[in-house]
């Protein structure tokens, strides 16, 4: 088995940062009425700016495939050009289409002059880590000398007012208040667009730092807990999910079937507890000492969880002091599968890393509660 190194990292964030007061200028007003929940949600999530692949008429400026390709292009220079790529592995929640695969569309966007291997990982926040793992294992096994992995999202087009107005109109017809359910509106004020990319190679940089990938671990708790975050379906009273394909087509808009939804009660109950449980399992598995960690990058969907996550980690013997934590949520927003890539890129290119330091990555996914973690060493 070969050693695997992140030798470059790149981020692409579309357009200009969008402030909290500007959000509805881009996403639009549901039922022509300003949201009453927006201020509360923003106060809790602590996000102050984010990026949208939209203009102020809610019209798209980039596809997800284009955002992803721009991040990949940030890896190219005279020593590594686009035609050196052997594998592109992409993870996203918000692909532009059901088929073809997201990675196939990204390959087309990159304008390569050759055929390459591609891989698409779907799901939620761990889709990016799954794409990372596929690329990591391909280089580690010697199947490829290099691989590019990317985590990306384009959530904004899912969150525009027109996607919810039919539900509001339906509620009016039923003589109910035309306010979309909190489980759907909650995520309108949480999610952001962007992409982050890594170049993985079997040799480190000669004159600059690299990050050696020590391991990537995954844990799913779907055998214990029902779905918490979902789209293209509706949760039933027994906790099961009813697929969009099993609804009449006229219900798709009336019930916002394709909207991304979250069961916030389940989220509060399990997201931190299971995250601590999974990270403790990895520390035990690899016989790690928490005192050896120099930087802790934990993806969180909201600043609301920041203090609680530290406390839950400490409760299982992983008490990392605040000075070791690295967050950029407030500036870039929650970019789902792309968030951990963008945080690593910012730290990697900050000039703050020193050889020998350990960088811990932790990524939760509330879909049906799955977690990943990785350990990187600065070399």
Find the domain containing 45 and state its range.
5-208
Residue 167: per-residue pLDDT: 67
**Ranges under pLDDT 50 in the chain:** 178
- Angstrom distance (rounded) from CA 292 to CA 377: 11
Which is nearest to 70 in space by CA: 147, 192, 154, 6?
154
Do 319 and 336 belong to one domain? yes
CATH number at residue 296: 3.40.47.10
Question: Are 168 and 283 members of one domain?
Answer: no
Residues 169 and 254 occupy one common structural domain: no
Same domain, 228 and 355: yes
Do both 10 and 102 map to the same domain? Answer: yes
Which is it for strands 194-201 and 295-298: parallel, antiparallel or unpaired?
Answer: unpaired
In this structure, are 150 and 168 located in the same domain? yes
Predicted local confidence at residue 176, as pLDDT: 59
- What's this model's pTM, rounded to 2 decimal places? 0.95
Domain stops at, among 208, 233, 257: 208
Question: In a 3-state reduction of DSSP, which class is residue 137?
Answer: helix
Question: Of 164, 184, 208, which one is at a domain's C-terminal end?
Answer: 208
| Same domain flag for 135 and 280 | no
The DSSP line for 271-330 is HHHHHHHHHHHHHHHTT--GGG--EEEE--S-GGGHHHHHHHHHHTT----GGGB---HH
Question: Is the domain of 342 the same as that of 220?
Answer: yes
Same domain, yes or no: 192 and 223: no
Q: Are residues 195 and 223 in the same domain?
A: no
Q: How many domains does the chain have?
A: 2
């Amino acid at each position: 088995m070969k050693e695997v190194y992140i030798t470059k990292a790149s981020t692409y964030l579309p357009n200009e940062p969008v402030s909290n007061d500007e959000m509805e200028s881009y996403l639009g007003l549901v039922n022509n009425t300003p949201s009453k929940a927006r201020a509360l949600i923003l106060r809790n999530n602590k996000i102050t700016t984010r990026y949208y692949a939209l203009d102020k008429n809610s019209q798209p400026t980039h596809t997800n495939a284009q955002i992803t390709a721009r991040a990949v292009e940030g890896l190219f220079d005279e020593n590594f050009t686009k035609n050196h790529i052997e594998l592109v592995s992409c993870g996203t929640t918000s692909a532009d289409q059901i088929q073809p695969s997201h990675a196939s569309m990204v390959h087309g966007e990159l304008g390569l002059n050759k055929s390459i291997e591609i891989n698409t990982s779907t799901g939620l926040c761990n889709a990016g880590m799954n794409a990372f793992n596929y690329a990591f294992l391909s280089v580690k096994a010697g199947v490829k000398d290099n691989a590019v992995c990317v985590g990306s999202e384009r959530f904004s087009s899912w969150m525009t007012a027109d996607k919810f107005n039919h539900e509001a109109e339906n509620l009016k017809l039923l003589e109910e208040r035309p306010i979309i359910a909190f489980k759907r509106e909650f995520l309108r004020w949480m999610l952001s667009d962007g992409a982050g990319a890594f170049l993985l190679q079997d040799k480190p940089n000669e004159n600059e730092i690299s990050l050696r990938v020590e391991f990537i671990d995954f844990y799913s708790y779907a055998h214990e807990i029902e779905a918490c975050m979902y789209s293209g379906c509706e949760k039933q009273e027994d906790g099961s999910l009813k697929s969009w394909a099993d609804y009449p087509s006229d219900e798709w808009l009336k019930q916002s079937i394709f909207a991304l939804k979250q069961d916030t009660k389940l989220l509060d109950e399990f997201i931190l507890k299971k995250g601590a449980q999974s990270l403790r399992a990895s520390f035990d598995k690899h016989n790690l000492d928490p005192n050896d960690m120099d930087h802790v990058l934990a993806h969180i969907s909201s600043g609301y969880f920041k203090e609680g996550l530290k406390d839950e980690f400490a409760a299982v013997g992983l008490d990392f002091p605040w000075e070791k934590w690295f967050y950029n949520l407030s500036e870039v927003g929650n970019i789902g599968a792309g968030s951990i890539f963008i945080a690593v890129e910012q730290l990697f290119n900050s000039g703050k890393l020193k050889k020998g330091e350990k960088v811990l990555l932790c990524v939760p996914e509330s879909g049906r509660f799955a977690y990943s973690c990785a350990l990187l060493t600065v070399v």
